[in-house]
Chains A and B, each alone.
Chain A
Amino acid sequence: MTRTHITTVINGDEVDFLAEDSTSLLDALRDEVGLTGAKEGCGTGDCGACSVLMDDRVTCSCLVFAPEADGATILTVEGLADSGELHPLQQCFLEGAALQCGICTPGFLIAAKALLEKNPDPTETEIRYGLAGNLCRCTGYDKIVRAVQEAAIQMREQ
Chain B
Amino acid sequence: MEQSLPNISSAAPPSLGARLTSSETQSARHELARLGAGLGLAALYGLALGARSGGMALVEHAIAASAGLTAVGVLGMPALFVLLALVNAPVSPLAMLSAGACSLASAGFVLAGLAPSVALLAVTIESPEAAAFVTRAGLTLAGGIGLYQLTSAVRATLKGLSPTLRFKCNALLFGFCVFAIMLAARVWYALPILKGVA
Whether A and B are associated in the same complex: the answer reads no
Give me the interface of A with B, judged by CB distance under 8 Å. Answer: none
